[in-house]
Amino acid sequence: MANNMTFNRIRNILIISAFAVAFTHCNYFTKKNTYSHLPADTANYLMWCDELKEDSTKADVLYKRGEYLFNKKLFLKALADVNNATSIDTTNSNYYFLLGEVCFAVNKTKIAALSYERAITLDKENVKAYLKLGRLYYIVKEHVKSLQNYDEAIKLQPECEECFFYKGLNFREMNKLTDHLDLAVAMFQKTLVINQNYFDAYIQLGELYDLKSPKIALEYYNAAIRMQPQSIEALYHRAYHYQMQHRYDSSGADYKRILEINPNFINGYFNIAFINMEQHQWQQAIEGFKLVTKMNVDNAGAWYNLGFCYENNNERKKAIQAYQECLLIDRIYPKAAERLQALK
């Protein structure tokens, strides 16, 4: 935990510019008790403005208004309010938690971490703060710290599905542990024991089992699709799984289903073309990769594959042009350079 002096010094670097805009919205409203015709949240906000004009040291009102501004994504204004609240009342865990939320939202992760830690110092049972610290440390790849915070949260909330899921994510990335993938699987499975409808756990388990047991992986992908039949993420994972198993009819059907849901999903077109290329259906593959290059002219892989298909379809000049386009995008694309040299 950082000491008070360190925390305040780091925090003040961030909030200096916030004070100038702290009360901008309030300045448009000067009359009290005339807000009954407005939506409740807007009326509350304006009443808080009125209260703070009379007494700007009301920490609880600053906190409420800061929370409102945070929810409206007015982060700079929210920062000014919640910073004032924590300066006035240094004993309220919720104030520091909200400060952490605001700093996290604007990607000031160091100050956010200090704020969440202060919230925990003030309230050892602040599960929300442990969860946010765990997620923050996962994002910045400090996996040991992330796991420590999720373990603390589990002590307070043993059936915390989020805790086990994020422990799984941490273990998945901790390559220094020899059994990290097995630990990840165990955590994702525990997540599903707590909540059998945890969609992302099915996806994670599908990916992990793809490495060692494709049959089980498919079961997890199918479960995810049963939960969310229109999920492009789940359908794409299953389509790619089928593709790696050379089950091209099933893979192609899933990609086509994805494109019915989102006609602009470029990876769907790319992989359908790739399947045609794998099966030496050169003309169909050519049409597919041409479409991909029209959708994204800077797709070096599509240009290379297009050149490869032209070459195998005995269209030498077009193959050369496609390889050249590939190398204009990526000057060190080895396969394109190799094939271009062979054709010249």
Q: Per residue of the chain (344 residues), give pLDDT as tens.
A: 445 555 666 555 555 444 444 444 555 444 545 788 888 989 999 999 999 999 999 999 999 999 999 999 999 999 999 999 999 999 999 999 999 999 999 999 999 999 999 999 999 999 999 999 999 999 999 999 999 999 999 999 999 999 999 999 999 999 888 899 999 999 999 999 999 999 999 999 999 999 889 999 999 999 999 999 999 999 999 999 999 999 999 999 999 999 999 999 999 999 999 999 999 999 999 999 999 999 999 999 999 999 999 999 999 999 999 999 999 999 999 999 999 999 97
**Residue pLDDT, tens place only, 27-62:** 544 454 578 888 898 999 999 999 999 999 999 999
DSSP character string of 214-281: HHHHHHHHHHHHHH-TT-HHHHHHHHHHHHHTT-HHHHHHHHHHHHHH-TT-HHHHHHHHHHHHHTT-
State residue 61 phi and psi, 5-degree precision: -75, -40
Q: Which domains does the chain carry?
A: 197-263 (1.25.40.10), 281-344 (1.25.40.10)
Question: For position 23, what pLDDT does the model report?
Answer: 44
pLDDT digits (tens, 9 = 90+) for 191-217: 999 999 999 999 999 999 998 899 999
Q: Are 23 and 49 in contact (CB under 8 A)?
A: yes
